[in-house]
Amino acid sequence: MTTRETHDYDVLVIGAGGAGLRAAIEASAAGAKVGVICKSLLGKAHTVMAEGGVAAALAHVDPKDSWKVHFRDTMLGGKLLNHWRMAQLHAQEAPERVRELERWGAVFDRTQDGRILQRNFGGHSAPRLAHVGDRTGLEMIRTLQDEGVHRGFDVFMECTVTKLLKSDGRVVGCFAYRRENGLAAGVAVPVDAVTASGSGLDPDISVANARLQAARVAATRGMNIDQVLALVNQNTTGRTWGFLGEPGVNVLELNLALDGK
Ligand SMILES: Cc1cc2nc3c(=O)[nH]c(=O)nc-3n(C[C@H](O)[C@H](O)[C@H](O)COP(=O)(O)OP(=O)(O)OC[C@H]3O[C@@H](n4cnc5c(N)ncnc54)[C@H](O)[C@@H]3O)c2cc1C
């Protein structure tokens, strides 16, 4: 039985929310062979839940709005703790990102004269949010997925990344497991070509999750997660779920349990 699969890509994007899909589209457009991994179903990311809209100083409703005002609002909203350069790029590039979404098929609400409508939102000193009723995120994801599908990148759904693989301190791939069957998957990319996206991916935090630890043990032993869990269960007289309830469970414990110690 095959218990491990491997894949090679020029660029690997971890996460298929707005950030990940947009990155994957850009990499595909540059001619790279791109793989996208998401731990849930494609389209099921936080991005799809965004209701308020996309902040971009298009100045369609308030002509005095500009990227500089947006930048100021963003820095003040972050109590000046924000990375100012990121906030600047965000404010400067947001209008073009919204126009780009429109070119790719997003249908935003309109002003009386047919331009993209903008509305007020907390922290913004001007009506700045381009929106689609209360389902802006859904329209964003739908649009980015449609564009991405035409670009032709591969998507690994329900595939959870548990470890970024490094060589000489540089990320060169990742290790993941398939939620459906626990099958381990290694994805390799050239040095410097990994894009990590989404807000939740932190391998050091992820390893606190016992199921992810089991996936690692499974990979090193050529097994799948369910086999590991079943064997640990046998060797620890039903303590597996005790293990799995513990955020601190580690690979060593699982290995010792597997070895019957
Ligand atoms: C209810 C709600 C309303 C919101 N409203 C607004 C709004 O009106 N305007 C606004 O600007 N923002 C809003 N936000 C915030 C906004 O939605 C997020 O900041 C934005 O969508 C984040 O996008 P992202 O692509 O970085 O991450 P996400 O959309 O969260 O995508 C993360 C991706 O990473 C994947 N992933 C994570 N960990 C792993 C792993 N270990 N292995 C594999 N894949 C992994 C996930 O499956 C997912 O595909 C809202 C958020 C919520 C929840």
pLDDT by residue, tens only, the chain of 261 residues:
556 778 889 999 999 999 999 999 999 999 999 999 999 999 899 999 999 999 999 999 999 999 999 999 999 999 999 999 999 999 999 999 999 999 999 999 999 999 999 999 999 999 999 999 999 999 999 999 999 988 889 999 999 988 888 888 888 888 888 888 777 666 666 544 444 444 343 433 333 345 666 667 777 777 776 777 666 655 544 444 444 444 445 566 666 667 765
What does the block give as tokens for 180? 């459906």
Using a 10 angstrom Cβ sphere, with 0-12 exposed, 13-18 middle and 19 or more buried, the burial of residue 214 is buried
The Cα–Cα gap between 145 and 193 comes to: 21
Any residues with CB less than 8 A from the CB of 230 and at least 6 apart, and which? Answer: none
Pocket test for ligand 1, best of 12, 14, 47, 51 (most atoms within 8 A of CB): 47
Confirm or reject: Cβ of 39 under 6 Å from ligand 1.
yes
The Cα–Cα gap between 7 and 5 comes to: 7
Confirm or reject: Cβ of 25 under 6 Å from ligand 1.
no
| Residue 36 CB neighbour total at 10 angstroms | 28
Q: What residue ranges define each of the domains in the chain, with the CATH number in brackets?
A: 1-49+138-201 (3.50.50.60), 52-134 (no CATH), 207-261 (no CATH)
